[in-house]
Structure 1
Amino acid sequence: MLVPPRPPSLDGASGNFGTLKSLFPYVWRFKKRVLLALACLVLAKVATVLMPIYLKQVIDALSLPATVLVLPVAALLGYGAVRLASSALGEVRDALFARVTQGSVRLIANHVFRHLLGLSLRFHTERQTGGLSRDIERGTKGISFLLNFLVFNILPTLLEIALVCGILLWRYEWRFALVTLGTIACYIVFTLLVTEWRMRYRRAMNELDSRANSRAIDALLNYETVKYFGNEQYEMARYDQNMGQWVDAAVRNQVSLNMLNMGQAAIISAGVTALLLMSAQGVLAGRMTVGDVVLVSAFLTQLYAPLNFLGFVYREIKNSLADMERMFALLRREQEVRDAPQARELDCAQASVRFEGVSFAYDARRAVIEHLSFEIPAGKTVAVVGSSGAGKSTLSRLLFRFYDVTGGRILVNDVDIRQWSQESLRRHIGIVPQDTVLFNDTILHNIAYGRPQASRDDIVAAARAASIHDFIQGLPDGYDTVVGERGLKLSGGEKQRVAIARTLLKNPPILIFDEATSALDTRTERAIQSQLSEIARERTTLIIAHRLSTITDADRILVLERGRIVEQGTHAELLERQGAYARMWHIQQSL
C-alpha cells in the first residue's frame, strides 16, 4: 500500500514555483525510478546527437572518387547502433517513468480526498460539488501531463540543444553556435512572453467552465425542485449564459494561440535559413564538405522539430500548472476542527454527556446557542424540543465536533470532547438524522456502512429491528437493490428506516435521534418507536423531536427557544406547568 508523503507546506507558495514545489515530494517517493529514467534520457539524447555525425562520415565516404570508393561499414553500423539505442532507451525511460507518473497522481488524489474529508462541515456546506469535482479532475490530469512532458520533452530538448551547440562550436566556426543559440533564445523569450499573456484566457476558461459545471450539477441534484416550479428554461438560460462567456474566452484563447504559432514559425524559419546559408558558403569556399552540410541540416532537423514542439509543450505545461493551482489551493484550506496534540482515545461501553455554558454561532453576528447547560447521565434519555431555528440540530453537530463551541465546553465522561480524538469520539456516537442521504449503492451496503465488517446475519438483524426487512425481501433484488443517487429510489420513510438500521448496526453507547421518525407514517412510527425506546434504554440518548408523542418516556425534556432553555422536566411535570411545552402538546393533540 502506498503511503503519501508528509504533506508539503504551501504557506507562502505562489505561482508556478509553488505548484512545482508542492508536487516534488510526491514524485521523489519514486526516486530510484526517476534517476534510472533520467539516466536513460541522457544516454538516449547522446545517441540521438551521434546519429548525424555517423551520417556525415557515410556521406563523405560515398562522395570520394569511384576509384577509391570503399563501403563505410563501420560508419553504417555505428549509425544503425546509435539509432537503435536512441529508440530503445527512450522506450525503457517511458516504461520506468510510467509508475512514477501514475503513482504520483494516486498519492496526490488520495491526499486531496483525505484532506477534503478532514475539512469542517462549514467548508462542505459552502462548497459547490460540480466545480470542486472538475477542479480535482483537471488537476490530476494536469499532473500526469506535466510530469510526462517536463521529463520527456523539456529536459531532453534542453540537453540536445546543449550538445548540438557544443558540437557546432567544436567542429565549425563560432557563428554557427551563435546563430543557433540566438535563434533558441529569441524563440524561448517570445514563447514565454506571449504564453504569459495568453494565460489570462486559460484561467478565465477554467473559472467559467467550473461555474457552468457547478450550476448544471446543482440543477440536476435538485431535479425535482426544478420540475416543481417549472424552471427548466430558467436553469437552461443560466447555464447557457455561462457557456456563452466560456465560448468568448475560448475564442480569444484560440486567436492568441494562432498569433503565437505564427511568431514561433517566423523565428525558426529565420534561424534555419541563416544556418543553411552559412553552410552553403562554407562548401563553396572549400572549408566544409557535403557531409558537413548534411550534418548541420540533420542537427537542424533534430533540434528544431522538438523545439517547435517545445512551444506547444510549454503552453500545455502552463495550462497544466493553471489547472493544478486550484487543486493544490484546496490543500491550503485549513482544518477548522483539529485534534489536540495529545488527543486521547475514547473507549468505553457507557458514556455520560454534559453541556456546560455552551455558546455557539455559525456567524459571529448571530448566536444560535447561548450559555446552554444540561446533562445526560449514562444510560439516560434527554429530549430537546422547540420551534424551528431554536438550535436543536446544532446540538448534535457540536457533540460530533463538526464545529467547536465558541463558549463553554461539552464533556463526555467528564472530559472535554476537544481532548478526545475526533475518530474515537464519533465511533461512540450514532445518529439517525432527519434528512437521510444514502449512497448510490445497494441496501446491504448502506446498512453495513454502520459497521463495514459486520456479517450478513448482523445486517439482517438490524434491518428486522428497524422494521424494514420484510420490505427489502419484497424487492426483486432484495438486499442487493441499488437505491440510486442520494437514495432517491426509496421513499422518505424507507430511507429513514435504513438509517435506523445502520445506526443500530453501529451499536454505539451514545445515540442521537434527530427527528428520527418524522418521515414515517403513524403505524410504522409506532412499530419503530417501541424498538427505539428499548434500544435507548441501555444507552445515553439525545432525542431531537418535533412530535411530542415520541418523547413522553424521556427522563428529561428540554424546551429550547432562541438557543436557550426556557423549560425542563419530565413530560408530566411540564404539562402541569402549563407553559410552552404544554401549549405545544395541546396544539399537536388537537390536530
Structure 2
Amino acid sequence: MANTIRLTGCHQVPRSVSDDRTGTPLWIPVSQYSYLALATTAFEHVHSLSLDFHLEKRTGEILSALNKGGAINSFLEKITFEAVPRLADLAVAVLYFLLTFGALYATIAAVITVFSLHMTIKMASTRADLRRDMVNADREEEAVKNDSITSYETVKYFNADAYESTRYQETVQRFQAAEAKYARSMGDMNIYQTLVFMCGVLIMLVVAAVDVARGTKSVGGFLVILTYLYRLQEPLQFFSSFYRTIQQALISGERLLELFKIQPTVVDRLGAEPLLNCDGHIRWTNVQFSYRTRPALRDISLVCLPGTTTAFVGESGGGKSTILRLMFRYYNCDSGTIAIDGQDVKDLTIDSVRRHIGVVPQDPVLFNETIMFNLKYGNPDVSDEEVYEACRAASIHDRILTFARGYDTKVGDRGTLLSGGEKQRVAIAHTILKKPKIVMLDEATSALDSKTEQQIQKKLIRGGSLGQGRTLLIVAHRLSTIAHADQILVLHAGSIVEKGTHDELLAMNGRYASMWLSQSQQAPIVARSGFSDGDHQ
C-alpha cells in the first residue's frame, strides 16, 4: 500500500509501496492521492503563515512535524480499506455461531469480541501519554539534529563538535528511554489481550465439550467450532492493533494537526482587490506599530514620490527594517494608513502588492541550486541574455564566468559557496529581473568593497537599471551610500526625528550630522563619492 508506515524501533518512516500486503492496484492511487493532498496542503499552509510564526519557529521541529504526514495517511488508509471489512467479518462470525451452533455460542463469541475491543481501547488510552512522550522525544531529536547541521559554521566557529555530539546523544537517549518504556507497556498489553482471548476460547470449548459428552454435538462439530474460533482470532487481532495504530498515527501527527490550527495573522480583507498597475507613489499617514507589547514605530508619516530615493538611517533597533516589513505586508500597522498610489494596502491583495515590490536583503538566502536557477526564480520567463545583462549591472557577470561551470554553478546550502558580496550582487540582479516598481534595499551593499559598491551605486541604483523610474527605499548604516537620496529620514526609537536631503541634514547639525562626523573620523570619506562633481569632507 502506498505511503504506509514502517516501524523501525518506533520511528515512523514514510514509504512508497507496501511490503506487508499485496493488495490490488486500487489501493495505490487512492493512497498516493491522499498522501499527496495531505503533504501539499501542509506544505502550503506553513508557507501561508505570517512572518511572526516563521521568526519564532524552530526549523528542525517544523520539518519533523511535516514528515509526520505519512502517519496521518496511514490512519486514513486503515479506516478506508481495512476497518469496515474486518467489522463485517466479526458480524458474520457472530451470526454464523448463532445460526449454526445456537444462541449460547453466539453470545460467547459476541462477549469475546466486545470485551476484547473494549479492553484494547481502554488499555491503549492509558498508554497514550507514553506514546506522546516517545513522539515528542523523537521530534526533539530531529529538531536538534536539523538545527545543528544547519548551523554547521557556528558549531565550527566555537569548536563545539563535542558539545553538539553530546547534546544529540542525550536527545537520542531520551528517545530510547521513552521508546523502551512504551514498548514494555505494549508488551504487557499484548499479553493481557491474548489471555482474554484464550479464556474466551477455553470457555467456548468447555461448553462444546459438554455438548459432545451429552451427545448434542458431534466431534466434527467440536472441530468446526475450534477451527472457526481461530478464524475469529484474526479480525480480533487486527482490531487490537488497529486502535493502537490509529492512536499512534494521530499522536505522531499531532504537531502537524496543531500547525493546521495556526492561522496567518496577515490575510486579505474580504473584497480586497489586486493592485494591477503601480506607479510607486507611497504615502504613510500616522502609522503606529508594535511587536506584541514592544512598540516599534510611533506616528510615522512620509511621502515617497514615484522615481525618487528615500533612505532610512539611525541606530539599530530604531525601526528601519520594520518599515520595510510593513511595506512588504509582512505585518499590518496597528493604526494609521499605508497607501500605494492612493490605495490603502489593506484594501489590496497581499500577493499583488508584493509583486510590485523587489527586496534586496542584507543577508540573501539562496536555494542550493545553480546560479541561473536562483536568478530566474522570481521571473522564470526572462531570457538568458536578460539574466546576463542584469548581472553586468550588478557587477557579478564577469565573476560568475570565472567559475568552472559558470551560471550552472551550484551555490550550496543557503548560498554558502558564495561570498557575502557575491550573494548580495546575485540578489541585486535577481531584483532587477523581477522588474518591480518599488525597490527596497536593506543594507544591500554592506558586504561589498568600496570600489564595487561605488560602481553599483553609480550605474545601477542612481539612474541605472534598478533605480530609473522606480521608487527606492534604502536602509543603510554607511551614510556615504545614501548621500545622493532625494530624502533621508533619521529614525530614533521608532520615530522620525530628522528629515531632509544630505546637505539639509548636515546644516541642522543634529543626529545625522553627528553620525556623519563619526563615520568621517573613523575613515576618511568623500561625501557623494561617485555621485556628483562636488566633494564634501
TM-score strictly above 0.5: yes
What is the letter of the counterpart of residue 546 of structure 1?
H
My pick for the range that moved more, 397-406 or 300-309, is 300-309
5+ residue gaps, structure 1, are: 1-89
Q: What is the number of equivalent residue pairs in this alignment? A: 499
Q: Is the 8 A contact 1:442 1:479 kept in 2?
A: yes
Match of 1:373 in 2: 301
Does 2:500 match 1:500? no
1:181-222 CA deviation, whole Å, 9 max, x = no partner? 111122112211111111101101111221222222222222
Q: Is the 8 A contact 2:89 2:235 kept in 1?
A: no
Does 2:321 match 1:390? no
SS of residue matched to 2:441? strand
Match of 1:118 in 2: 48
2:371 to 413, 418, 443: 443
Q: 2:475, 2:37 → 1: CA distance?
A: 41
What is the letter of the counterpart of residue 228 of structure 1?
Y
Question: What is the deviation of 1:291?
Answer: 4.2
1:561 to 485, 492, 497: 492
What is the letter of the counterpart of residue 346 of structure 1?
L
SS of residue matched to 1:361? strand
Q: Is the 8 A contact 1:129 1:214 kept in 2?
A: yes
1:431-467 CA deviation, whole Å, 9 max, x = no partner? 1111111111111111111212222222222222211
Does 2:245 match 1:310? no
Match of 1:161 in 2: 90
What is the letter of the counterpart of residue 552 of structure 1?
A
Matches within 5 A, 1:449-528: 449-528=377-456
What is the letter of the counterpart of residue 444 of structure 2?
A
My pick for the range that moved more, 478-487 or 277-286, is 277-286
Q: 1:302, 1:353 → 2: CA distance?
A: 76
Question: What is the deviation of 1:233?
Answer: 3.0
Does 2:474 match 1:546? no
Does 2:26 match 1:102? no
Q: Cα gap change, 1:491/1:142 in structure 2, threshold over 3 Å: closer, same or farther?
A: same
RMSD across aligned C-alpha pairs, in angstroms?
A: 1.7
SS of residue matched to 1:95? coil
Matches within 5 A, 1:240-251: 240-251=169-180
1:271 to 192, 200, 208: 200
SS of residue matched to 1:389? coil
Q: Is the 8 A contact 2:337 2:344 kept in 1?
A: yes
What is the letter of the counterpart of residue 415 of structure 2?
G
Question: What is the deviation of 1:284?
Answer: 4.0
Does 2:37 match 1:130? no
5+ residue gaps, structure 2, are: 1-20, 524-537
Matches within 5 A, 1:327-338: 327-338=256-267
Q: 1:113, 1:169 → 2: CA distance?
A: 52
Q: Is the 8 A contact 1:157 1:303 kept in 2?
A: no
Question: What is the deviation of 1:91?
Answer: 6.8
Question: What is the deviation of 1:536?
Answer: 1.1
Q: Is the 8 A contact 1:102 1:144 kept in 2?
A: no
Match of 1:183 in 2: 112
What is the letter of the counterpart of residue 119 of structure 1?
L
Question: What is the deviation of 1:316?
Answer: 1.3
Q: 2:406, 2:87 → 1: CA distance?
A: 63
SS of residue matched to 2:363? coil
Match of 1:21 in 2: none
Q: 1:349, 1:147 → 2: CA distance?
A: 47
What is the letter of the counterpart of residue 544 of structure 1?
V
Q: 2:118, 2:397 → 1: CA distance?
A: 71
- TM-score (ref. length: structure 1): 0.82
Question: What is the deviation of 1:344?
Answer: 1.0
Q: 2:194, 2:206 → 1: CA distance?
A: 18
1:341-380 CA deviation, whole Å, 9 max, x = no partner? 011110225220111111111131x211100111101111
What is the letter of the counterpart of residue 101 of structure 2?
Y
Match of 1:424 in 2: 352
Higher Cα Rg: structure 1 or 2?
1
My pick for the range that moved more, 328-337 or 578-587, is 578-587
2:333 to 372, 391, 405: 405
Q: 2:147, 2:431 → 1: CA distance?
A: 29
What is the letter of the counterpart of residue 518 of structure 2?
I
Q: 2:147, 2:182 → 1: CA distance?
A: 28
Does 2:534 match 1:584? no
1:278-309 CA deviation, whole Å, 9 max, x = no partner? 33443444433444334323322221023123
Question: What is the deviation of 1:143?
Answer: 2.3
What is the letter of the counterpart of residue 477 of structure 1?
R
1:462-514 CA deviation, whole Å, 9 max, x = no partner? 22221111111111111111111111111101111110011000010001111
Q: 2:215, 2:389 → 1: CA distance?
A: 97
